[in-house]
Amino acid sequence: MAGPFSLDGKVAIVTGSTRGIGLATARMLAEAGARVVVSSRKPDACEAVRAQFAAAGHEAIALPAHVGRPEECAALVAGAVRHYGRLDILVANAAANPVADPLETLAPEAWAKVIETNLAGPWHLARAALPEIAKAGGGAMVMLSSITAFVAAEGSAVYGISKAALDQMVRQLALEWGGRGVRINAVAPGTTRTDMIRTLTAQPGWLDAVIARTPLARIGEPEDVAAAILFLASAAARHVTGQVLVVDGGETIRR
């Protein structure tokens, strides 16, 4: 790939990159020329993706990490820099939504788990990675938000709250790091075909209702979101920071 979307010579960490949006993103960044650090909680899954990338001619390493643990976030960044000598891009994709309970009945431990992964995780990653990105001459961090950050939805109570807070963290980090050449943005997917919505799509009529209210009359595919992440990670978005890019086929404009 040539032009402003090329990532030749760049090093990118993608968390949660063994399936769904994370996997599609890691693959797209690799196809654009980046050397990719594949990461998720499961070592075997990380190694399987790394092997797939290697077979396709892409340079990648596997570094498992639990993003809810600050010491593992630091080790992930340190391992990437130790192997490649630099870090240019961080995609904070890993997230959790283990419960669909309303706030009234939500267990405190479920609240803590979601906040730990979805909000504290990207913060820990940013603290470890942004100094390295600045040291490399500047680059980008892209976080995964959600349309539930600004549209209330059944089954997404604490998840949506965590993503709304994440959006503000994007703006704050963009302010703090812009002077050091680091851009921080987020992508907010709408309904996207991933494991996270598997139980919902099994409900009769649920998917039809989503499609009916979406102007493009389809739900998103992981590659649709990955393309937006590639844009924000590349030089094509060199004057974009502190923003949340919605990728939802127009789903939210009718709510």
Q: What is the pLDDT of residues 21-51, one digit of tens each?
A: 999 999 999 999 999 999 999 999 999 999 9
What's the pLDDT band for 79 if we cut at 50, 70, 90?
A: very high
What's the pLDDT band for 154 if we cut at 50, 70, 90?
A: confident
Beta bridge partners of residue 37, listed in sequence order = 13, 61
Mean pLDDT across 234-241? 98
CB 192 within 8 A of CB 220: yes
Does pLDDT of 235 surpass 70? yes
> What whole-number percentage of the chain has pLDDT above 70?
99
Which of 53, 84, 123, 159 is labelled catalytic?
Answer: 159
Instruction: Assign 192 to helix, strand or coil.
Output: strand
Does pLDDT of 1 surpass 80? no
In a domain, 254, yes or no: no
- Edge-to-edge order in the sheet of strand 60-62: 60-62, 35-39, 11-15, 89-92, 139-144, 182-189, 244-247
For the whole prediction, is pTM greater than 0.85?
A: yes
In a domain, 201, yes or no: no
* Dihedral pair phi/psi, residue 226, rounded to 5°: -60, -35
Active site residue 84: no
Query: What total of structural domains would you count in the chain?
Result: 1
Does pLDDT of 75 surpass 80? yes
181-205 per-position pLDDT tens digit: 999 999 999 999 988 777 777 788 8
In a domain, 113, yes or no: yes
In a domain, 212, yes or no: no
Residue numbers of the domain that contains 71: 3-195+222-243
Give pLDDT, residue 110: 95
In a domain, 110, yes or no: yes
What's the CATH number where 109 sits? Answer: 3.40.50.720
